[in-house]
Amino acid sequence: MSLDRDTEDLLRELAPQVLGALVRRYGHFDASEDATQEALLAAALQWPKEGTPDNPRGWLITVASRRLTDQVRSEASRRQREYQVTVATPQSEVLAAVPGTDRDDSLALLFMCCHPALSAPSQIALTLRAVGGLTTAQIAAAFLVPESTMAQRISRAKQGIRASGLPFAMPAPADRADRLRAVLHVLYLIFNEGYATTAGPDLTAPHLSDEAIRLTRWLRRLLPDDGEVAGLLALMLLTDARRAARTRPDGSLVPLAEQDRGAWDRERVDEGVALVTAALSRGPVGPYQVQAAIAAVHDEAADVAATDWPQILGLYDVLERMAPSPMVSLNRAVAVAEVHGPAAGLDLVATLAEDSRLARHHRLYATRAHLLELAGDHAAAAVEYRAAARRATSLPERRYLAAQAARLAGDER
């Protein structure tokens, strides 16, 4: 039986709370996560027929506790040894046996899933499963990999948690800032994969970008005074506001300069601008706030000609000092070209070609092609567009780049 949207949203909101309660009470992260997923499935089957219980969180904790108990008892029977876990009991007794069921450990759970000891793919998969409440099949479909592959990835992540012996608790104050950066980075990666998929036939995977925005909204409710959390949410909203204008009906890519800005989601733009404006006024300023400010300048321009490129370049100057990376420098080169001319931008791109992290990335070739086209060298630009197309792993991007090369080659005839 299908779930209505309100019930689905409720289950996904409660998933990390239920898992947090079980891990805090029983330990055994992997077993607790499996039990939570089974409880969510039971709710999805029963609630549409029987109605949502008065205490849905308590109901889920009760069912998950029973599932966990059954699993541990089965293991104990097979291995002929006992585990210190409560036996299955009626709802009221289970709830009484789980102290602090009204306590929300979601933030501690998110910090655990994003622990630096785990690889980035493991952090992403575990966050979507344990905190986002997505099934393994849903995550696998979003990343275009077989369900078995994603199941192995999640299993390795849970094994990593178990092997690390991490306590289920918030990080110590001295470590909290670094751990929060890891959390924000994972949410940022999830959003980016949804907004511009790295592989496959579709340009976007809206399910992932929507989930990243949902989780970041939720994180902001938990940490309302953190400027970087607000900055990341603003960046996501300001970027995602363009989603409807980024593709044509046939799914082909529309670059920013050619997008119908009337199709942008103005509510998201307004919310994102308000968020980043408030965050910047409070300080201290972090990289996500600066990136959001850049996105806001783009989104507030009535058309591409009205874009305030000097302001964007100034913001990229700040961002490059604050969080240097080859991709930031590549984006800054475009801003330099808009302000000081394509030759200046090409000089910067030439220096970036020596960076091994970027030397074979399709965006380097695509940017060089764009700047060569601005400089009027269409033949050289066509060559670079073809090189970019060969390296792109996203089919819509590859088609767009190949079409640009063909267009310029045609101009030369």
Mark whether 112 and 219 lie in a shared domain: yes
pLDDT at 356: 86
Mark whether 144 and 119 lie in a shared domain: yes
Long-range contacts from 266-269, C-beta under 8 angstroms, 24+ separation: 266/241, 268/237, 268/238, 268/240, 268/241, 269/237, 269/238, 269/241, 269/296, 269/299, 269/300
Mark whether 17 and 114 lie in a shared domain: no
Mark whether 82 and 110 lie in a shared domain: no
**CA 245/CA 377 separation, integer angstroms:** 29
Mark whether 60 and 35 lie in a shared domain: yes
* Number of domains into which the chain is organized: 2
Mark whether 134 and 213 lie in a shared domain: yes
Condensed to tens digits (0 to 9), the pLDDT of residues 45-103 reads 999 889 999 999 999 999 999 988 887 666 555 554 444 444 444 444 444 444 444 56
pLDDT at 297: 98
DSSP category for residue 321? H
Mark whether 110 and 219 lie in a shared domain: yes
| φ, ψ at 247 (rounded to 5°) | -135, 150
Of 203, 223, 243, which one is at a domain's C-terminal end?
Answer: 223
pLDDT at 12: 83
Identify whether 271 is part of a domain: no
Closest CA to 236 of 314, 299, 322: 299
pLDDT at 2: 62
Task: Report yes or no: 286 and 227 within 8 Å, Cβ to Cβ.
Answer: yes
**CA 194/CA 205 separation, integer angstroms:** 4
| Contact partners, residue 211, CB within 8 Å, separation at least 6 | 128, 132, 134, 190, 194
Closest CA to 97 of 29, 24, 25: 25
Task: Report yes or no: 219 and 264 within 8 Å, Cβ to Cβ.
Answer: no
β-bridge mates for residue 253, sequence order: 247
| Positive/negative CA dihedral, 319, 322, 323, 324 | positive
**CA 344/CA 89 separation, integer angstroms:** 72
**CA 126/CA 136 separation, integer angstroms:** 10
Of 223, 240, 259, which one is at a domain's C-terminal end?
Answer: 223
Helix residue ranges per DSSP H, 284-377: 287-300, 309-322, 326-340, 342-352, 362-374
Judged on CB neighbours under 10 Å (0-12, 13-18, 19+), 42 is middle
Mark whether 117 and 205 lie in a shared domain: yes
Q: In terms of residue numbers, what domain contains 200? A: 106-164+174-223
Closest CA to 100 of 61, 49, 153, 151: 61
**CA 115/CA 250 separation, integer angstroms:** 40
The structure's pTM equals 0.81
Mark whether 136 and 28 lie in a shared domain: no
Mark whether 41 and 91 lie in a shared domain: yes
CA distances from 94 to 26, 72, 100 (A): 13, 16, 12
pLDDT at 103: 60
Residue ranges of the chain with per-residue pLDDT less than 50: 80-101
